[in-house]
Amino acid sequence: MNPSEQAQAHVGLSAGRQPEQIEATLCRRILDRFYTGCFAVSMTALGLMAVAVMLQVGSRLIGVHIPSIPEITGFCMAVSSFLGLAYTFREGGHVRVTMLLINLGDKRRMMFERFVLSVAVLLAVMFAFYLVNMTIVSYEYGEASSGIIPIPLWIPQSLVSCGAICLAIAIVDVWIDVLRGKPPSYINKEEFPQ
């Protein structure tokens, strides 16, 4: 096997897959890892929040005050919430009201999903844009938290903005799939038979 054939076999061309299919599979893997990475950072922030709360409780038992722990836990909660949005959306963890969808046929249901996802793309992109703008303004004006330890607000805001951007990417990702005729990733098989 010459080097060219080895390279083709490595990327899957010899298995009858077209370069576009390989590109789509690679893109899918990258996006899934991206969402999983965001979720891992989200869970890390949640763990840090738990550690901070335990530290606060433990320090009070021995009569020591650790400043700004409530603020830090609040920042960790915001970061955890926002960075977990994209993964949760892709996995179908967000609450959905499907009473209307149950009564629609498959064709109407797909049209409705396309419409709802189009609105969601618009709202998510606007939300991410304004969060990023707020973060930039906080950085430019040097805004800080009002606790004993002044924490620059752009630090937690930048992570929250990253979470909003990740959610916008996830919604666009699902929207493109639905426009191509695929069922959304967040719908389980019983809810949307193929």
In a domain, 188, yes or no: no
Helices (H), the chain: 3-11, 19-61, 69-83, 85-90, 99-102, 106-141, 154-179
Number of domains in the chain: 1
Indicate if the pLDDT at residue 6 is higher than 90.
no
pLDDT of residue 16: 56
pLDDT digits (tens, 9 = 90+) for 156-179: 999 999 999 999 999 999 999 899
Q: How far is Cα 126 from Cα 164, in angstroms, rounded to an integer? A: 10
Long-range contacts of 126-131 (CB under 8 A, 24+ apart): 127/164, 127/167, 127/168, 128/161, 128/164, 128/165, 128/167, 128/168, 131/157, 131/160, 131/161, 131/164
In this prediction, residues 21-44 reach a mean pLDDT of 86
In a domain, 191, yes or no: no
pLDDT digits (tens, 9 = 90+) for 64-110: 888 888 899 999 999 999 999 999 988 887 777 677 777 777 788 88
pLDDT of residue 91: 85
In a domain, 192, yes or no: no
Its pTM stands at 0.80
Q: In the predicted model, what is the mean pLDDT of the chain? A: 84
In a domain, 133, yes or no: yes
pLDDT of residue 27: 83
Please give the residue range of the domain that contains residue 84: 3-179
Indicate if the pLDDT at residue 127 is higher than 90.
yes
pLDDT of residue 10: 47
Place of tokens 């950072």: 41
In a domain, 187, yes or no: no
Residues linked to residue 144 through DSSP beta bridges, in sequence order:
152
In a domain, 184, yes or no: no
- Residues 6+ away with beta carbon under 8 Å from 193: 106
In a domain, 185, yes or no: no
Using an 8 Å Cβ cutoff, are 114 and 80 in contact?
no
Query: Which pLDDT band holds residue 14 (cuts at 50, 70, 90)?
Result: very low
In a domain, 21, yes or no: yes
pLDDT of residue 21: 64
